Amino acid sequence: MSFVMSQASLPVFEIGLNALSAVLEKAEAHAAAKKIDPSVLLNSRLSPDMFALTRQVQIASDQAKNGSARLAGVEAPHYEDNETTIDQLKARIAKTVAYLKTLDPKQIDASADREITFPLGPTNKGHMKGDDYLNHFVLPNFYFHITVAYAILRHCGIDIGKRDFLGGIPIKMT
Amino acid sequence: MSFVMSQASLPVFEIGLNALSAVLEKAEAHAAAKKIDPSVLLNSRLSPDMFALTRQVQIASDQAKNGSARLAGVEAPHYEDNETTIDQLKARIAKTVAYLKTLDPKQIDASADREITFPLGPTNKGHMKGDDYLNHFVLPNFYFHITVAYAILRHCGIDIGKRDFLGGIPIKMT
């Protein structure tokens, strides 16, 4: 009957990121079949003042990596944000998932009452209790960016559905 | 140091739904200022085969209501999905938040190991452990639909930002 913070974070990020990687792979196949330059997809956005697909993927990766590291009380590696191809974005996602596997779930479980401090824009800092930081900042931000990445590709006509978004979740269907 | 399922669900839904209601209110004010028929916004979608704004809001409400009720082991009320105005959608959201407050958090906390059975489309059923159902089905679906609702409005030019999406989260800024 236990419910711990590591299970509400690490596998959630891993499944969501792997689903995002698979969706990017479908986008790549679509672009090849329709002779679309993949960079058109990577530079697509839902409104002029929202980030394009590449940046949505980078931020989703950062939310998972930095959020989990802060909860575990360790310093996350810095990624350069220099991806310009779908293959490079898939490699970034794989690197993020591999990093998550290096974290100690017990350290994340122990962070519920610890104050987490994190950058908010270039000059401000946010402060939240560990459990609030996971429930009300990292998870909503992570889901925001993977959903927008998915929605950009739906908007561009890629043939993907809700199951592609959910990914490899532990479900039994009858 | 405790982390329980009710805190990863009830306040998450309440904050997310209230944020969605506030975003709809901004959309209403925008429509009035620009003399746009609000039903144009309610019928907007990000791709021809995705649901329009009204349905995104209804599904977000249902995910919160039905997901929480299933975890608490009670029968959720059925809502009619007959909203045609922004005011009616805001009322639907308020009704959903009021319903969430009637649920017993302890029953949700006790559901981690219980198998949850739920409809998947018109004929199939899904089966998941309670903790997996929350982490890998209800939360991703809830966030998917509130993010798409928000993204539809950004796409339509409503002046909203990430803070509107996150809503009234327990954060201290310095």
pLDDT mean across residues, chain A: 97
pLDDT band for position B139 (cuts 50, 70, 90): very high
CA Rg value for chain A: 17
In three-state secondary structure terms, A137 is helix
Please state, rounded to an integer, the average pLDDT across all residues of chain B: 97
CB contact (8 A) between residue A110 and residue B1: yes
Query: What integer is the mean pLDDT of A80-104?
Result: 98
Size of interface A-B (CB pairs under 8 A): 153
Nearest to B3 among A50, A112, A150 (CB): A112
- Residue B59 confidence (pLDDT): 98
Region B144-151: mean pLDDT is 98
Q: In the predicted model, what is the mean pLDDT of residues A77-92?
A: 98
Q: How big is the CA angle at B78 (ends B72 and B80), to the nearest 5 degrees?
A: 150
Q: Estimate to the nearest angstrom the gap between the alpha carbon of B8 and the chain centroid.
A: 14
Which residue in A112, A147, A170 is closest to B148 by CB distance? A147
| Residues of chain A with C-beta less than 8 angstroms from the C-beta of B109 | 3
Yes or no: say if B115 and B106 are a contact pair by the CB < 8 Å rule: no
The mean per-residue pLDDT over the stretch A145-163 comes to: 97
Give the three-state DSSP class for A128: strand
For a pLDDT cut of 70, what percent of chain A falls above it?
Answer: 99
Distance CA B173, CA A129 (A): 13
pLDDT of residue A142: 98
Are A47 and B157 in contact (CB < 8 Å)?
yes
pLDDT over threshold 60, residue B56:
yes
User: What per-residue confidence (pLDDT) applies to A121?
Assistant: 87
Q: What is the mean pLDDT of residues B28-53?
A: 97
Nearest CA in chain B to A145: B147
Q: What is the pTM of this model?
A: 0.97
How large is the average pLDDT for residues A115-120? 96
Dump pLDDT digits (tens) for B89-126: 999 999 999 999 999 999 999 999 999 999 998 999 99
Answer whether B14's CB lies under 8 Å from B105's CB.
no
Query: Per-residue confidence at B44, pLDDT binned at 50, 70, 90?
Result: very high
Q: Find chain A residues with C-beta within 8 A of B148's C-beta.
A: 147, 151
pLDDT for residue B2: 81
Q: Smallest Cβ distance to B174: which of A3, A125, A129? A: A125
Q: Which residues of B touch A131 (CB under 8 A)?
A: 3, 7
